[in-house]
Structure 1
């Protein structure tokens, strides 16, 4: 099991990663997300041994790397998959996957499993982006690393291909039984693919938990906003019940919140019905195909976002009736 304890990385006088602690479980896919410049790629480079660390320890099996006793990359048995694929342009697909392999049987296995059998003799220049990424993954897995680091592997692909390839990569990692840390800026990708999700902010890990826990019970307002559209409605928490101007709702206190709170509402937690005597006014509306996303102002200038069927239509400036429809507990933050 990969263990990271109190890991910090400085670039000059700037701390880029601050006191990171995590353990990567057997065949676990751990997603790391966060805004640009939060330290995601730096963490991967530190784990791979490509950059020096300032403080802390990285250990796996029979090796342990510290600032005073660093372990070089070639001794860590780590595989990496990059966003630019990093394939040898002069080698065929088969030669890329088999590069420095003594036993090529595993390469054959992964070429077949990842649908690359027909492209064995092709050069990378003739492949699509998705095919190149499969080749990069096959090469990495065929070398049987102890763990794999993926640095935004799908960022250069179109949306439709991303959706299918992310699941192919996850299934391949699970089939190989190799744990992985996958960096992405795509919140949907992180929530759907990861066994656990880590949210970074300014080099610090704000929360590390299951996707469901991070989304429904975010540790901070930053996590709540980063993992999806978030609105906050003032209310009063009494036990596990929050009283709001839109009615009562079940609540979960975050960090022992009590009394006056802000209730986290996702667009799917609310309902919207056009009404001349409604309790809200539409600020704007965005058509999304099968749905519409509304921003509605209620009460004393509070703006809430609500997603409805595309059949529900209300123009900006129109009055609507808003209500809380969810039955699951909602996160409540101290005001």
Structure 2
């Protein structure tokens, strides 16, 4: 188990990571997300031993590294996968994966498992981006790391390839049975691939939990907004139910919320109609998404809500519509700001 306790990192007088605490199971994948500059990559560098820590400790198996007694990077047995692949351009695929390996059987295993067997004699310049990332992952896993750090490994790939390769990487990490921390800017990637998600803000871990919990029961408004489209509107919470102008729904109180609250509404929590006289808002803008359409509706009460519906439901901006809460699952309620 990888255990990080009260880990802090300073750059001069500026604290960029503040008292990070987390523990990963033997084959657990933690997705680390947050805005640019929040400390995600700094955390990876600190865990790898590439930068010094100011406080706290990192423990894995028999070794512990602290601010006073840091463990050298080469003694941590960490594997790293980068967004720029970091392959040796003058070496073949097989030579890249087998670099400094005495026993090449593991290189053979991972090349085969990741579908790169037939490219053994190919040099990186002749590979696609997805193939290069498979080689980088095979090289990492062939060296039997104790844990793996992935720094936005899919950011340089096109959208279609990202969707398939993320699952290949997850499957390979699970097969290897090693804990992994995966930094990404892609919220969909974080929610779909990780066993848990950690959301950072200004070097502080705002929430670490399952993807479902982070999305449906965010610990703060920041987490709610960062992990998807989030709208808030007033309501009253009493006996587990929220009463709003557009419907009543069950509630999940956040931080003891009660009475007058702001309820978190996702675009899928609503229905949209323009075929009756009970309209309560006007469409401000519309976005076609292929299989769906996303609308922003300015409510008559002054609030704006976003709603996602089938692509077959087409309205023009300026259309008067009715929005109704139709979800049956509890919605997160926050104390009124």
Bin for the TM-score computed over the shorter chain: over 0.9
Give 1:276 shift: 5.8
- Give, in whole Å, the separation in 1 of the partners of 2:239 and 2:14: 43
Q: Is the 8 A contact 1:245 1:299 kept in 2?
A: no
Q: Is the 8 A contact 1:196 1:209 kept in 2?
A: yes
- What does 1:85-164 correspond to in 2, within 5 Å? 85-164=85-164
SS at match of 2:172: helix
- Give, in whole Å, the separation in 2 of the partners of 1:26 and 1:59: 13
Unmatched runs of 5 consecutive residues or more in structure 1: none
Unmatched runs of 5 consecutive residues or more in structure 2: none
SS at match of 2:168: helix
Moved over 4 A (4+): none
- Give, in whole Å, the separation in 1 of the partners of 2:55 and 2:305: 43
- Give, in whole Å, the separation in 2 of the partners of 1:7 and 1:176: 27
Give 1:85 shift: 0.4
SS at match of 2:109: helix
Query: Greater CA deviation, 272-281 or 2-11?
Result: 272-281
The Cα offsets for residues 287-325 of structure 1, whole Å up to 9 and x where unpaired, read as 111111000011321000000111112111111011011
Question: Given the two structures, how large is their TM-score scaled by the length of structure 1?
Answer: 0.99
2:171 corresponding residue in structure 1:
171
SS at match of 1:141: helix
2:210 corresponding residue in structure 1:
210
- Give, in whole Å, the separation in 2 of the partners of 1:117 and 1:247: 57
Equivalent pairs counted in the alignment come to: 335
SS at match of 1:237: strand
- Give, in whole Å, the separation in 2 of the partners of 1:313 and 1:130: 37
- What does 1:138-287 correspond to in 2, within 5 Å? 138-275=138-275, 277=277, 278-287=279-288
The Cα offsets for residues 19-47 of structure 1, whole Å up to 9 and x where unpaired, read as 10000111001100000000000000000
- Give, in whole Å, the separation in 1 of the partners of 2:107 and 2:61: 25
- Give, in whole Å, the separation in 2 of the partners of 1:315 and 1:37: 38
- Give, in whole Å, the separation in 1 of the partners of 2:291 and 2:59: 48
Give 1:275 shift: 3.6
